[in-house]
Amino acid sequence: MIPDAPARPAMIDPFGRDISYLRVSVTDRCDFRCTYCMAENMTFLPKKDLLTLEELDRLCSAFVAKGVRRIRLTGGEPLVRKNIMQLVRQLGRHIAAGALDELTLTTNGSQLSRFAAELYDCGVRRINVSLDTLDPEKFRKITRWGELARVLDGIEAARAAGIKVKINAVALKGFNDQEIPAMLRWAHGLGMDMTVIETMPMGEIDEDRTDQYMPLSLLRAQLSKEFTLDEIPYRTGGPARYVEVRETGGRLGFITPMTHNFCESCNRVRLTCTGMLYMCLGQNDDADLRAPLRASEGDELLSAAIDEAIGRKPKGHDFIIDRTSNRPAVARHMSVTGG
């Protein structure tokens, strides 16, 4: 008789959720300054405070050993981190070994032309590209520094390399809400899924978020006048809830942290480039993993610190945007925690 294979380890939080998804912000730096995400004159973390790529690999590998099956690299812009492909290649070994189901990243697309082929070679098969408009002038306005043509070239390079691309667009009232139907047709015409996201109250920016915020319930109602949206059970491991657009045959996801949070099924924790673990995107509670990481060459202290942190993962966040609550719910910018 062949003995049963050992059960896969699992990290279960106080609410019975299996924490199997790790999002890692490898840098808080970005080559864009999107108006809903950052102030124009950002103060970034001193480089000396960042974990080394080797330390990030060790941390990620500890999570894989404890049951994480998906890792997403984020930022800032992950591909601006010096020698980032060294980390991607190291993490790719877990894909090759079958210990990790997926290694992916969220990017603004500006560096994809350089790295797409190598990303595929390292085991990356799916990426998210953040893109809020197809109008070059509006793109420059929303990103402050970005060039749309460079991003579109990067998307094409990723598709040519065999990487499946999903477009992420933040719905911004009065800016791109009327453009979403055209973006949807464009994305689906190229075989790319698309997800729309509500803006979130994270970090001080130069604008009033109440002027930007658009409930996706309103956007969905507008889209329903033009498209037939059929509910489907499709999931990618993240918070998006998908519909199929009958007229295009493509999928459209909705991420609604404001109007309908997705906390009941949250399987994610977020690791920053300084080794802080956030158990919830919208809460300030964190755990320092850098200290136990550096205290010993073994992973016993690190493993215990991870267990302690998962044991206090909160039930959910409490994001609010209105005229009386237009301060950020958390002080840190999204680029610190990672998307």
d(CA 312, CA 304) in angstroms, rounded, equals 13
- The beta-carbon contacts of 178-181 under 8 Å, at least 24 apart in sequence, are 179/133, 179/134, 179/135, 179/138, 180/219, 180/223, 181/223, 181/226, 181/227
Q: Is 58 annotated as a binding residue?
A: no
Residue 269 marked as a ligand binder: yes
Q: Is 122 annotated as a binding residue?
A: no
In the three-class reduction of DSSP (H, G, I as helix; E, B as strand; rest coil), residue 197 is classed as strand
Of 67, 19, 13, which Cα lies nearest the Cα of 315? 13
Give kind and range of the element (H or E) at residue 114.
Answer: helix 112-121
Residue type, 222: Q
Residue 129 parent element (H or E):
strand 126-130
Least confident of 12-21, 96-105, 204-213: 204-213
Give the angle subtended at the CA of 72 by the CAs of 67 and 78, to the nearest 5°: 145
How does pLDDT run across 182-191, given as a tens digit for each residue? Answer: 999 999 999 9
Tell me the mean pLDDT in the region 17-40.
89
Is 164 among the annotated ligand-binding positions? no
Burial class of residue 63 (count of CB atoms within 10 Å of its CB; 0-12, 13-18, 19+): buried
Category of 107 on φ-ψ map: left (φ > 0), alpha (ψ -120 to 50) or beta: beta
Residue 202 marked ligand-binding? no
Compute the average pLDDT of residues 277-305.
Answer: 92
DSSP letter for each residue of 32-82: ---TTT--SS--PPPGGGSPPHHHHHHHHHHHHHTT--EEEEESS-GGGST
Q: How high is the pLDDT of residue 239?
A: 84
Q: Is 114 annotated among the ligand-binding residues? A: no
The neighbour count for residue 326, using CB atoms within 10 Å, is 14
Find the mean pLDDT for residues 86-92.
Answer: 98
pLDDT at 88 over 60: yes
Mean pLDDT, the chain, whole residue set: 87
- 263 assigned binding-site residue: yes
pLDDT band at 336 (very low <50, low <70, confident <90, very high): low
Alpha-carbon distance values, 234 to 36, 241, 331 (Å): 28, 8, 33
- Between CA 46 and CA 40 the distance in angstroms is 18
Q: Confirm or deny that 60 is annotated as ligand binding.
A: no
Q: Is 89 annotated as a binding residue?
A: no
pLDDT at 124: 98
Are 77 and 27 within 8 A, CB to CB? Answer: yes
Taking only the tens place, the pLDDT of each residue in 218-245 is: 999 999 999 999 999 998 877 889 999 9
Q: What is the pLDDT, as a whole number, of residue 324?
A: 47
Q: Please give the domain boundaries of the chain with CATH numbers for all domains.
A: 21-165+263-337 (3.20.20.70)
- Contact predicate 245/187, CB 8 Å: no
* 200 labeled binding residue: yes
pLDDT in tens, 241-255: 999 999 999 999 999
* pLDDT at residue 315, as a whole number: 83
Amino acid letter, 7? A
Higher pLDDT, 128 or 325: 128
pLDDT reported for residue 212: 73
- The model's confidence at residue 258, banded by pLDDT at 50, 70 and 90, is low
266 is in an annotated binding site: yes
pTM to 2 decimal places: 0.86
23 known ligand binder: yes
- Asked whether residue 34 is marked as a ligand-binding residue, the answer is yes
